[in-house]
Amino acid sequence: MIRSTYVDNSRATFGVDLHLDVSGSRRKRALEEALRQAIAQGRLRSGTRLPSSRSLAADLGLARNTVVDVYAQLTAEGWLAARHGSGTKVADRPLASEVSAVMIADAPGSWSHDFRVGWPDLSSFPRSAWLDASRRAWSSAPDAELGYGDPRGTRALREEVTGYLGRARGVRTDASRIVICSGFTQAVGLLCRALHERGATALAVESYGLPETRQIANDAHLAVETMPIDENGALVSSAGAANAAMITPAHQFPLGMAMSPERRHDALGWARSRDALIIEDDYDGEFRYDREPVGALQGLDPDHVVYLGTTSKTLAPGLRLAWMILPGELVEPVARAKRLADRFAPALDQLTLAEFIRSGAYDRHVRRRRLAYRHRRDRLVGALAAAQVEGISAGLQAVVGLPAGVTEAEAIASADESGIALEGLDLYRVGPAAHPPAVVVGFATPPEHAYAAAISGLGKVLAGLSQPHVSVRVRTRAEG
């Protein structure tokens, strides 16, 4: 029981009343902490006069100097106030408000099967190969790599990325024009800031894509226009007065078509004729299954194309490592934006990835993943024989059309009832609707061991949608 209002100079009760437990070997520290707690929790109120150091020391069986030190410490911190001639009091402070827990969902959902878009198979992350690369990278890295570094990133990584992108994606660059970013999201933000600084006012994006791009661009003072997409990819020539057009030529996200040669040509023509930029989001360019991947647009015109790549699909989003290949005149403004955003990407992760690429482990991992995801996509197409799996044989997601009259919300609700996480295409619509209702299946998300059960469950959900009782069931649920 707490009787802080009784506190006065009475040496017999102060410590006991406040439950000051100062036993143990570090009694000075314990007294200090006990007093801090008592004040923080309101047991010792503002203005309360504390016993003299002599009196409290005797009360607690401590040396007087110990109490003097503790009072001085808490006075320095602002918990206590010492006034000449009037002893030590608890300082004025507001009533201690409870430190309230703030609710932001921590955990992923509790579905049996997860087909959400944008996730690779996390169970395939090469943990020990990564740790080994980490250890090797460290054993040779000079101390200076641990200091404040180049905003573009560690040179070792920029050189490895240059080599990798050259051989895997036909990107033409050198290490000086690469900026290592903490993921794709950051890359877009830095680029938008740099473009704005150089006078840009508008960014064109595909009418389907990542919805947050609009807010990122707006935060950097760029207006956002949308470009229509058809079966040949985005119509960049419709980007009008935008200063840059962001596209996913290798594999449209999320619709899944590849940009046709003519459209690629038109896009570059648009950029050249207006001295505008193409921003090539090559988020999953490594994953083409029916043929050799189409090389990056960037290789055709490094002065008009910014290339963005990431490890989020090849390795894991948790790494937060992406790269941006820039025309020469954009390097400095983007590096400056990175410097002001967070100085540079974490050195250890960069060194580890550099070693991971250098040793060949990255190429090997990508190759293995390509085979595994290709197999997954084939099995998905097989399992959903009745439904239409759209897009080219590539990437980590596929759009699946819905039976006539079935809404995306109904499909998602039905999947949810079966313990399956599924996303509707409309989630990725950022311009006028141009596609009938569909779901987007992130077929890389379930772990390998659960994949058979996952696609079988998904197949049942989608097959059930065309039967009338399903929509009744969904409606019932929405009422409940």
Question: Identity (one letter) of the amino acid at 144?
Answer: A
CB of 193: closest distance to a copy of itself in angstroms? 8
Report whether 402 contacts 438 (CB < 8 A): yes
| Closest to 306 (Cα-Cα) out of 243, 241, 362, 396 | 243
Q: Closest CB to a copy of itself among 189 and 437?
A: 189
Per the CB < 8 A criterion, the answer to whether 140 and 358 are in contact is: no
CA dihedral of 94, 95, 97, 98, whole degrees rounded to 10: 140
Cβ proximity to a copy of itself: between 230 and 262 the closer is 262
Closest CA to 252 of 269, 273, 232, 266: 232
Q: Which is nearer to a copy of itself, 124 or 407 (CB)?
A: 124
In angstroms, give the least distance from the CB of 38 to a copy of itself.
13
Which is nearer to a copy of itself, 150 or 417 (by Cβ)?
Answer: 150
Q: Which of 310, 337, 354 is nearest to 175 (CA)?
A: 354
As a whole number of angstroms, the distance between CA 423 and CA 399 comes to: 10
Q: At what angle do helices 347-358 and 127-140 cross, to 10 degrees?
A: 110
Assess contact for 244 and 334: CB atoms under 8 A. no
Q: From the CB of 347, what's the least distance to a copy of itself, in Å?
A: 3
Q: What minimum distance in Å lies between the beta carbon of 183 and a copy of itself?
A: 5
CB-nearer residue toward a copy of itself: 105 or 404: 105
Closest CA to 183 of 313, 362, 278, 347: 313
Q: Which is nearer to a copy of itself, 310 or 414 (by Cβ)?
A: 310
Q: How far is the CB of 262 from a copy of itself (least distance, A)?
A: 9
Name, in order, each residue with C-beta under 8 angstroms of 261's C-beta and a sequence gap of 6 or more. Answer: none
Q: Minimum Å distance from CB 354 to a copy of itself? A: 14
Q: Which residue is associated with the tokens 């390097």?
A: 331
Measure the CA–CA gap between 14 and 6, rounded to whole angstroms: 8
CB-wise, 22 or 387, nearer to a copy of itself?
22
Residues 6+ apart with CB under 8 A from 265: none
259, 233 Cβ separation under 8 angstroms: yes
**H-state helical runs in 359-450:** 361-383, 408-417
Q: Which is nearer to a copy of itself, 454 or 465 (CB)?
A: 454
C-beta closer to a copy of itself: residue 217 or 438: 217
Tokens 């996200």 correspond to what residue?
A: 253
SS3 24: coil
Which CB sits closer to a copy of itself, 295 or 403?
A: 295
Structure tokens at 221: 């003072």
**Closest approach of Cβ 275 to a copy of itself, in Å?**
11
Residue 472: burial class (beta carbons within 10 Å; 0-12, 13-18, 19+): exposed
- Pick between residue 116 and residue 377 the one whose CB is nearest to a copy of itself: 116
User: In angstroms, what is the minimal distance from the CB of 293 to a copy of itself?
Assistant: 9
Least CB distance from residue 133 to a copy of itself, whole Å? Answer: 11
Distance CA 112, CA 103 (A): 24
Minimum CB separation of residue 405 from a copy of itself in Å reads 33
Q: Which is nearer to a copy of itself, 299 or 457 (CB)?
A: 299
Which residue lies nearer to a copy of itself by CB, 47 or 318?
A: 318
Give the DSSP letter of residue 20. -
State in angstroms the smallest separation of the CB of 294 from a copy of itself.
5
Do β-strands 322-325 and 438-442 pair in parallel, antiparallel, or remain unpaired?
Answer: unpaired
Between the CA atoms of 143, 144, 145 and 150, what dihedral angle is there, to the nearest 10 degrees?
180
CB of 361 to a copy of itself, least distance (A): 16
Q: Residue 334 is inside which H or E element, if any? A: helix 328-342
Nearest approach in angstroms of CB 115 to a copy of itself is 14
Query: What is the DSSP code string of 211-278?
Result: THHHHHHHHTT-EEEEE-EETTEE-GGGGTT-SEEEE--SS-TTT-PPPPHHHHHHHHHHHHHHT-EE
